[in-house]
Amino acid sequence: MTTHPGAAAPSHDLHLSNVRCLPDDAPLAMAWQQAAAQIRARLAPWPDDASAPRWRLHAQTPASAGKGDVIWWPMSSAQTPGTAALMQRDAWRAAGAVVLDSRASAAGRVEDTLYTSDTIYRVAGVDDPAFFPAFAAFLDCGFMPQDALVLARAWRTDGSHARAEDAGTLGAWPTRLETFPEVLGQVPSAGRFPACPRRLGLYPVLPDAEWCERMADLQVGTVQLRIKDPAHPALRSEIERTVAAARRVTQDSAWFINDHWREAARAQAYGVHLGQEDMAALSAGEVAELHASGMRLGISTHGYYEILAAHHFQPSYLAVGAVFPTTTKVIATAPQGLAKLARYVKLIAPHYPLVAIGGIDATNLAQVLDTGVGSTAVVRAVTQAADVAAAVMEMQAEFARRV
């Protein structure tokens, strides 16, 4: 496996804001730092984020490690870490450090296992000589390690990870899905789920059937019923009422039920929306059963790694967020922001309809749609509107201006 940076000639004007490669005087660490800064400079302007984590990337095994430390273990396929090494890895994780185990799997291929304090991420992709500097560059942009990992594995020294037509706005940002690695450890896909409209438009996410019926009165084409409590005493009737309301929409309607996919299938719903945890909890047989129902499937994502995890199941659409801070749902990840959303659009839109969610309302809808996204999920923008019909019409008009 290659461990050299594989980057262009150095420039002393380049630097990283959030990443240090250590030890400072180690030749490999210095080469990584310089190469990472060069890659970072090719990613087009990126918004400063004072709250972004600070990282220390180690070219040598450190004497101690904790939060903010990243230790890389590149190995050949024949190498096996001993008991002492595994104990050391677990101790680093317990202290809050990140450990990246990269293992050559075949000619030009590599499998990565990323260990954080509470989660293990596994991917398989192409081994490019600029991988680790690219990893440092994406960490410097503020991405979490699992997202920086898959972005770095998508990076190609020859530039084939980016589209020439995006260079003016995105620089050399990875936008070709085929260069990204595969997420390992998931149950098999049952095949592509049925298609839904490429642009789902305004997408209210609502707490009960009564709200959904109000959307049918307003002829809203895309709606989601979101009842999180599986023990809700009227769950079945709420779903049935929502499905019946969808049939009153004269245009092609794409109405979804959140979470309760078996109940949705029994009610002959158009589609269901599931989160990452929901998909991860399904067995192979359940995924096949869900696919056989004929319903459309939407999956929530919160970053590049989760986008790839969802892509494995070939859903009908992907949702990404939260774009802005939101109070309607507890989300572990920081708000994505418009810069990330624009890049998700470039990556996903050629393959799936994309729905932006989180903190979106009439005041920022135009900015969100300027990224090219074809749908925005809204909650409080509808449920807390003083005049619901007027709020819906105003937001639908913004979509209409983009057609």
Question: What mean pLDDT comes out for the span 212-219?
Answer: 98
Question: What mean pLDDT comes out for the span 132-143?
Answer: 96
H or E element that contains 104: strand 98-106
Split into its structural domains, the chain has a count of 2
The three-point CA angle 370-399-307 to 5° equals: 60
Residues 148 and 211 in one domain: no
Q: What's residue 330's pLDDT?
A: 59
**CA 118/CA 312 separation, integer angstroms:** 23
**CA 391/CA 387 separation, integer angstroms:** 6
Residues 282 and 364 in one domain: yes
50-87 pLDDT per residue, tens: 788 999 999 889 999 999 999 998 887 778 888 999 99
Maximum alpha-carbon separation in the chain? 70
- State the average pLDDT for the chain: 93
Which comes out higher in pLDDT, residue 48 or 65?
A: 65
**CA 381/CA 287 separation, integer angstroms:** 33
| In the predicted structure, residue 95 carries a pLDDT above the cut 80 | yes
The residue from 155, 183, 211 where one domain ends is 183
Question: What mean pLDDT comes out for the span 92-96?
Answer: 97
Which comes out higher in pLDDT, residue 49 or 91?
A: 91
Q: What is the CATH number of the domain that holds 300?
A: 3.20.20.70
277-304 pLDDT per residue, tens: 999 999 999 999 999 999 999 999 999 9
**CA 29/CA 31 separation, integer angstroms:** 5
| In the predicted structure, residue 204 carries a pLDDT above the cut 80 | yes
Band of residue 332 on the pLDDT scale cut at 50, 70, 90? low
Can you give the residue range of the structural domain that contains 242?
A: 201-401
Q: What is the DSSP string of 255-296?
A: EEEES-HHHHHHTT-SEEEE-HHHHHH--HHHHHHHHHTT-E
Band of residue 199 on the pLDDT scale cut at 50, 70, 90? very high
Band of residue 2 on the pLDDT scale cut at 50, 70, 90? very low
Residues 155 and 266 in one domain: no
Place of tokens 């096996």: 80
Instruction: Please give the structure tokens belonging to residue 17.
Output: 């804001």
Band of residue 106 on the pLDDT scale cut at 50, 70, 90? confident
